[in-house]
Amino acid sequence: MEKRTLGKSGLEVSALGLGCMSMSFGYGPAGDKQEMIALIRSAVEQGVTFFDTAEIYGPFTNEELVGEALAPFREQVVIATKFGFDCDSGKPGGLNSQPEHIKQVVEASLKRLKTDRIDLLYQHRVDPNVPIEDVAGAVKELIQQGKVKHFGLSEAGAQTIRRAHAVQKVTALQSEYSLWWREPEAEVLPTLEELGIGFVPFSPLGKGFLTGKITEETKFDSTDFRNQVPRFSEENRKANQVLVDLIGQFAQQKKITPAQVALAWLLAQKQWIVPIPGTTKLDRLHENIGAASVQLAPEDLRELESAASKITVQGARYPENLQKRVGR
């Protein structure tokens, strides 16, 4: 698979990474551990070198899964994980980016990941109670100690990115970005380009919606996060089908799948964008990886852009309590 470099950092990864969250958390019951290990190892065999996890996924079980799966390939892969939630107090929804806490989290993550360094360490959400300069300073110390290689932010706003970058160079920002969530284009992408920071879109398939496999009739498991997301209400799914239909028509013309159109569109936006679609299914993994070899011509992109820009997606992408934590 083609490789890409995240910004000016020199961190080289496969053009598509693998988001591992859904194997343990978020979209219904956790997958079978041995099947998920086999899936991660299959991704390595197909050229994926970039794997994304976080301590909160589980909590903790996803890091353990990723650590075990990648142990035989550790020198060939880049592992990204995240700190920033208070997973130890029994209230895992609370934020905690106190410098001492960050250092404790890293020690625990290193053990779970069966490694001596974290290649890319993100702050999972900006903590309003801790100046971002203090967060960046704590990660800088961890980098000096060799426990962390690169610093990242997730869902941070442009001003926070600038302030953090002034203390410790930010290698990558991870935020949601796709054909149905394009807010980063306004302020965030220009800021990243200016500073030489890479961009790692999560939910590049709109939490599954852009694959065309979710309709207004779809019923989610009771533990599935999408039950709380306004954009996934039955009414909004029905309204948003128009975007999926557009992508589906485009996919038919190109003889590829809707998911491949959505991923190829992201890859075509900038050379320093590396999407991390997640899956628990081998056939979906193959399909997503296939998107890395899809070349959309400039006229294809213009056509898709023009049609998509006329569609207003209905519904917020997060429930209100979570929306308050993004773009700070």
Give the HSE-up count for residue 124: Cα atoms under 13 Å, Cβ half-sphere.
Answer: 23
> Which of the residues are catalytic?
57
Q: How far is CA 134 from the centre of its chain?
A: 24
Can you name the residues that pair with 117 across neighbouring β-strands?
A: none
Which residues are within 8 A (CB) of 169 and not within 5 positions of it... i.e. 6 or more apart?
Answer: 9, 151
283: tokens are: 């056939």
Helices assigned H by DSSP within the chain:
33-45, 61-70, 99-112, 132-144, 158-167, 188-195, 234-254, 258-269, 282-290, 298-309, 320-323
The answer to whether the beta carbons of residues 86 and 94 sit under 8 Å apart is yes
User: How many other CB atoms are there within 10 angstroms of residue 96's CB atom?
Assistant: 20
Residue with tokens 């959505």: 262
The answer to whether the beta carbons of residues 29 and 286 sit under 8 Å apart is no
Helices assigned H by DSSP within 46-98:
61-70
> Which residue type sits at 299?
E
Which residues are within 8 A (CB) of 105 and not within 5 positions of it... i.e. 6 or more apart?
Answer: 55, 83, 87
User: How many other CB atoms are there within 10 angstroms of residue 324's CB atom?
Assistant: 12
For 301, the 3-state DSSP assignment is: helix
